[in-house]
Structure 1
Amino acid sequence: MTDLICVGAIAGSYGVRGEVRVKSFCAVPEDIETYTPLWSEDRSTQYSLALLHQVKHGFAARIAEIATKEDADALRGTQLYAERDQLPSLPDDEFYHADLIGLEVYDTGGVLLGRVKTVQNHGADDLLEMQLAGVTNTTFLPFTKAAVPTVDLASGRIIADPPAGILPDKDPVPVTGEADGD
C-alpha cells in the first residue's frame, strides 16, 4: 500500500490572481482542505491549499505558492496527494482506489483473470479497469458487491464474478446462417 492517496486535482486557473480550480475526490468534497499540506505524486512539491468558495465541478482555491494566473495555468492536471495517516480509516467494505490498483483478480473458481490497472468513475459506480491475463486487452469490471464479492488487501487479491459479456470469449462460437445459400 502506498503512503500517499490522491484526494483531488487542479483543473486550471480561476480568475487572474493565481487562484486555481480544484476538483476534490473526497467523500465529503470540502475535506480536501483539511488534509493540507498536499503533495505532488513524486513528493517533489508541497501545496498549502485554502478553499475560497464552491464553483461548478469543484472549488476555487488559493495555493500559497502560486501568485499569477500563468503559474496557476501551469498546474492544470496536477494531482494532489495526502498522507495516508491524515485520512480517516474506512469501514471494512470501503477501499481507497490506490489500494485496489495492482491487485490480482481471480474468478470464483480460482482462475487468474488479470490485474487491476486503474479505478475509474464516470458518474455512476466505480469501474475496475482490469489488464487481462496473458493478453494486451483491458476490460472494465463493475465494482459492485455482485461483481466483486471479495477484496482481500492482505493477500493482494480480488475474487470476481463478472457479469456476462464482460470477459472476452475464449472459444468463439461459429456463426451459422444462410448467407451462402445453404
Structure 2
Amino acid sequence: MSAAPQTPRNQLRVGRILKAHGLKGALKLELYTDDPDGRFRAGASFTLQVPEHSKWHRETITVREFRWMNQSPVVFFEGIDDRTEAESLVRAILWVDHDETAVQPEDDAWYDHQLVGLDAVRDGEVVGRVARVDHFPSQDLLIVEVGEREVMVPFVSAIVPEVDLAAGRVVMTPPAGLFEDVAEED
C-alpha cells in the first residue's frame, strides 16, 4: 500500500534580511508584505531560504521583537544576540506557511502562487498560461507563456478584468498586437 502524495505547502515570501543593525542582533528588513506589524509580531516563525552551505539552511527562526527605526523595519530574532550572529543571516529570505482557507483581505487581491499556472483566456480561447508575476512600483505584470515566448501583460483591470481561481483562468482583453507575432522587416 503506497502513501498518498503529499500536497506541497504553500508558502509566502514576506521579507528579506538586508543587513545587521547595531550591536545587539537587530536586522533591517526588506518587506514583501502589506501587514508587517501583523506578520512580524513576537512569536511569529519563518522558514529561512539561504544557501545549502549556511548553518541556517532548512532552519526556522522566531521573532523576539519588531519595531520601526527611522522609518525602517527592524527585527530581533530569538537566539540572535550580537552583530556577528546577525550578519550570518544577511540576504536570507523569510517564508511563512500560507493558509488557503483564510479569508482574503480584499476581493481583488491574489497571491502570486494562486495566479501562476492559470490559463490566460482571450475571446473565449486559451492563449497561454501565467508563468509568473513580476512586481514593479507602477504596476504588476503577468508573464504569460505563449508557445516558446513570454508576453508581459499589465495586471490592471482594463486588461485583466477577471481572475477566476475556481475555473483556473484569467480573462484578458489586451490591446491589439499584444499576443500577435510582430512581422519581421526585410
Shorter-chain TM-score: what band?
0.7 to 0.9
Separation of aligned partners in 2, 1:87 and 1:79: 24
Identity %: 24
Q: Which residue of 2 aligns with 1:180?
A: none
**1:37-70 CA distances to partner (integer Å, 9 max, x unpaired)?**
12235992212122132445x4111111333434
- TM-score with structure 2 length normalisation? 0.74
In structure 2, relative to structure 1, the CA distance for the partners of 1:68 and 1:59 (3 Å cut) is same
Stretches of structure 1 that go unaligned for 5 or more consecutive residues are 176-182
Question: How is 1:27-176 mapped onto 2 (pairs within 5 angstroms)?
Answer: 27-34=34-41, 36-40=44-48, 44-49=58-63, 50-56=65-71, 58-85=72-99, 89-90=103-104, 91-113=106-128, 115-130=129-144, 132-135=145-148, 137-164=149-176, 166-167=178-179, 169-170=180-181, 172=183, 174=185
1:63 partner letter: F
Matched pairs, number:
170
Separation of aligned partners in 1, 2:151 and 2:20: 34
Query: Contact 1:128–1:141 (CA<8 Å) still a contact in 2?
Result: yes
The runs of at least 4 aligned residues of structure 1 exceeding 6 Å deviation read none
1:9 counterpart (5, 9, 16): 16
Task: Say which SS state the counterpart of residue 81 (structure 1) adopts.
Answer: strand
- TM-score with structure 1 length normalisation? 0.75
For structure 1, which segment, 154-163 or 28-37, has the greater mean C-alpha deviation from structure 2 after superposition? 28-37
Superposed CA RMSD in Å reads 3.0
In structure 2, relative to structure 1, the CA distance for the partners of 1:60 and 1:171 (3 Å cut) is closer
1:126 partner letter: D
Stretches of structure 2 that go unaligned for 5 or more consecutive residues are 1-7, 51-56
